[in-house]
Chains A and B, each alone.
Chain A
Amino acid sequence: MQYLFFTKRRGAALLGVVLVSLIVLGIFAAVAFNIAMNTMRVERWQREHFEEQQMHYLARSAVLAVGAELSNDVRPSDTAAIDKTGSLNVSDSDRGMAASLDFAVSADKDSNIVLIQVTAYNPSSALSNDTKAVVKGMYSKSLGKVTAWNEGSGK
């Protein structure tokens, strides 16, 4: 140190101090950048979570719509087995949303319960291609409404 400050190469000391300052500043900048990157990672997770939630809402409301339709079409006295499938594509060009809904309605012969299953997924998801919401509803023929739920993720 003494060599740096009291010889004719005093500028070297100054440059040394500046370099050390720069390293310290670099560490601070790296910490700040790391915080920003983590924030972005959390945001991405949040986006994926919301897309999954979006599919859940769609699937849940689709189960309710099928249940409401069954209350018109299926009577408690109907004893035949039920086995129906269908699909629906929904989209909102304004927000770039597209989802596919797969329906499956089934009931055993003489059963009071009709199982409604709707699987909702976004086939063109930019976040994760395998995010699926699977919602099952138990429709009671005697009560004429969906009485039990089971929600899951097909991820």
Chain B
Amino acid sequence: MMRRRGTLFVECLIAILIFLIGVIALASSLAYSLRAIVQSREAIASDLVVSNQTETDSMRLALSPDQALSATKVGNTMTVTLNGVNSDSGNISFSCNLYGYKADNKYKTAFYLLGRK
């Protein structure tokens, strides 16, 4: 059978092309994985910061429920009304604010505390 000159060269080119496609796919997969892991690490770090702030203020509230909180107020003042049921006919009503502890990561993590006004 006659073999045309340059056939091997074309085969090599095709082989290199296929190999390159594989390498590019692998590289992009690895890059995606690494980016996801780095973003996750950053998100966890900033989540922990706001979690600590919220925990600290939560503890302060437990010690003294009416003290001012360090976070920013979210929305308007709300009124909680607890209505008496069964034999209890009295109501309890009080105003409170929502305080937000927010992280600027990709998940926009935020924790909230209710503070009595």
Which A residues have a C-beta under 8 Å from some C-beta of B? Answer: 8, 10-11, 14-15, 17-18, 21-22, 25-26, 28-29, 32-33, 35-36, 39-40, 42-43, 46-47, 50, 53-54, 57-58, 60-62, 64-70, 73, 80-86, 88, 90-92, 94-97, 99, 101, 103, 105, 145-146
Candidates B15, B33, B98; contact of A15 at CB < 8 Å: B15
Q: Does B74 have its Cβ within 8 Å of any Cβ on chain A?
A: yes
A-B contacts, CB under 8 A, total: 166
Q: Are A68 and B75 in contact (CB under 8 A)?
A: no
* Interchain residue pairs with CB less than 8 A apart (15): A11-B11, A14-B8, A25-B22, A36-B29, A39-B40, A46-B43, A50-B47, A50-B107, A53-B111, A54-B111, A62-B114, A83-B85, A83-B88, A99-B112, A105-B82
CA distance A70 to B92 in the complex (A): 8
> When the two chains form the complex, which single residue of A15, A68, A103 contacts B116, counting CB atoms closer than 8 Å?
A68
Q: Contact between A92 and B11 (Cβ–Cβ < 8 Å)?
A: no
Q: Is the CB of A10 within 8 A of B15?
A: no
Kindly identify which residue among A11, A17, A26, A35 contacts B8, using a CB–CB cutoff of 8 Å: A11
Evaluate contact between A84 and B92: CB separation under 8 angstroms. Answer: yes
By DSSP majority rule, is chain B's interface helix, strand, loop, or mixed?
A: mixed
Q: Within the assembled complex, what's the spacing in Å between the Cα atoms of A101 and B43?
A: 27
Inter-subunit contact A8/B1 (CB<8 Å) = yes
B102 to A, closest residue via Cβ: A95
**Which residues of B sit under 8 angstroms from A97, Cβ to Cβ?**
110, 112
Interface majority SS on A: helix, strand, loop or mixed?
A: helix
Task: Check if A85 sits within 8 Å of B80, measured CB to CB.
Answer: no
- By a CB distance below 8 angstroms, the chain B residues around A70 are 92
| Contacts A15-B15, A57-B58; A29 near B113 (Cβ below 8 A) | no
- Give bound CA distance, A26 to B22, whole Å: 7
In the complex, A90 Cα to B76 Cα: how many Å?
10
- Interface assignment of B49: CB less than 8 Å from any CB of chain A: no
**Once the chains bind, are A82 and B47 in contact (CB under 8 Å)?**
no
Q: Please report the C-alpha to C-alpha distance between residue A68 and residue B54 in the assembled complex, in whole angstroms.
A: 19
Question: Which residues of the partner chain A approach B85 to less than 8 Å between Cβ atoms?
Answer: 83-85
Beyond A33-B29, A54-B112, A92-B74, whether A82 also contacts B11 by CB under 8 A is: no
Q: Is the CB of B94 within 8 A of A69?
A: yes
Of B23, B37, B86, the residue contacting A25 (CB under 8 A) is B23
Give, as a whole number of angstroms, the nearest-CB distance from A101 to chain B.
8
Decide: A32 and B30 in contact? CB cutoff 8 A: yes
Q: How far does the alpha carbon of A28 sit from the alpha carbon of B29 in the complex, in Å?
A: 9
* Chain A residue with Cβ nearest B108: A95
